[in-house]
Structure 1
Amino acid sequence: MSDKAMVVVSDDAGVKEPLLLKDGENVDDRETTDDLPDWLPDGWIMESFRTDDGTINQYYTSPISDYTFTSKAEVLEYLFSGVDERIQESKECAEMTLQKTHEWLPKGWVMEIRVGGQNRDKMYKFYVLPRNGVRLLSKEDVLLYLKQAKISMCDTNGQCDSSSNDNIIAKVELHPNGLPSGWVKELVFRKTKEGSVRRDPYYTDPTRGYTFRTLKLALGYLESGKVPKRAFTQKTSVHDIYSFEKCADLHDSLRSRLAVNMKRHCKRTGPLLPENSSGIDYDGDTDSSRHGHNASTEWNIVSAMG
């Protein structure tokens, strides 16, 4: 079946390459938008495909999320959910986050945080390209590699060993797959009493500062706007912790990762974030537990839809 497509774009969508309507005829997407339905917002793309039997199938695509729908009802339900607004907020917040200060770092690179110093009281930042194992220490080294494919030595004057995985405490992705600009994925490394290493992912929303333990929870929050029970806020944001260059004093919130994790993993039965909480540390302890708030604390978190 060889469908031919006609693309009509509303006023704010910009320029798009024209697609073939039929053999020998082009449709310029900058033509009049009279064919667009009145209910379709500016910027959305409407595509009409005519099949061999003459049936016309229409598709509507959001310019912000690239989600595509096949009916008016689906589009209106999506617009009512506010997903585009939340994604747009995330993109705008990226201007003030790690993405802004590291806009020179291409997608696919990961920031690797290691402990160093004579007393293990320093943290070092390395830039790693996982697909080939390249590890570099500075912005200048990364730019040199991108330009000349030259790999510089990670010289820390013997203060930080980069040859093993024993001193890694975090890996940070600035462009996690499936999430809008501004979101950060943090992979936290902790040693267990059995001698193994736990790797716990955290996904942080740049707009409201919520952190989620799984990608599924993060996507559910984006799609529904509802904060799941297991979401929490960190006392210090990932943007503040990892904004240093090369080396800095080990952040207080990261020290617990150096000790063996003696806690057993247990299923929580209640929400984590009290209404007036200023945050939760990386171990998941609430402010109320540290300051002795009683059981009458009012909770203000609702479950995600679905």
Structure 2
Amino acid sequence: MILTEELNKETESYFRKKGWLKAENELLEYAKAGEGNMNFVARVKTNGFSFIVKQSRAYVEKYKQVPAPIERIEVENAFYKAATESEFISSFSPEILDFDKENHVMVMEDLGEGTDFLGLYAGEVDVTKAEIVLLIKYMTVLHALKPSDFPDNAKMKALNHEHIFNYPYLEENGFDLNSVQEGLQELAKPLKQNEVLKAKIKEIGNRYLANGKTLLHGDFYPGSWLKVEESLKVIDPEFAFMGDSEFDLGVMLAHFKLAGLADDLIDFAKSQYRKERAIDEKLLNQFIGVEILRRLIGLAQLPLALNLNQKQALVSEATELILS
């Protein structure tokens, strides 16, 4: 069963066969819910309630030419199950109403018409100190969970590894960075030719691929944070894995730097985490650096409001963080 963007009889019949729609339920609306990168997500509204359906495919939803492990939805389901061990983490998560493993479909609580934090990059959205405190607490509580037999998510880690640690540094990867911003291809060239930097990034990538002991969200960036009315939610944990806690924190801080947040806010976030858990500062800096670089010269581009000089300054900072 492949869910389509437009409602058809086959899709409605599937929903009714699974029991998600009863005979008395009139289907009023079926539409894509946001622009998801990895998966197809739709909101289903009836005369009595609404819910979210999410399906993983054998490719990345936003980049259909990129193959992706279709079973990643099983990892997301496992993550939400692990989250039930903590009332605090559960309060940030949608309730899972049903899971169809055969068709790679998850049915979730509709959290409502929320907005993510992608507007941070253009200065259209702010993140407050209070929100940073909550996001850091989410991370520290999550990192303290000890789920048994959590999936290794090896295929998704391999996909992410390729796009973080390898693809951006290939001199001929088929991605013309000048199509993103004129001059970006030339800015990236020294990085692609820096053998010392690439060797260090390969070493960090091997650390990422190794099995760890800490449950990570795996993609803890502004697109995974949702503001619904006055509450915060954290979604899209299909990259979750057991690894180094510095990876989640490093991704968060890298995106704060990409969004141009003040250094004192970044230091505040780090200090909040350090209150609860120890940090390997060198490893943290390395993860910050590689995330900055892959977002500047890799395929997964962001809606950044940065000129080339600002990107060059970030490239220099990231390189120093990786090599220091």
Would you say same fold, with TM above 0.5? no
TM-score (norm 1): 0.28
Higher RCO structure, 1 or 2 (CA under 8 Å, sep 6+): 2
TM-score (norm 2): 0.27
User: Is the radius of gyration larger for structure 1 or structure 2?
Assistant: 1
Higher helix proportion (structure 1 or 2):
2
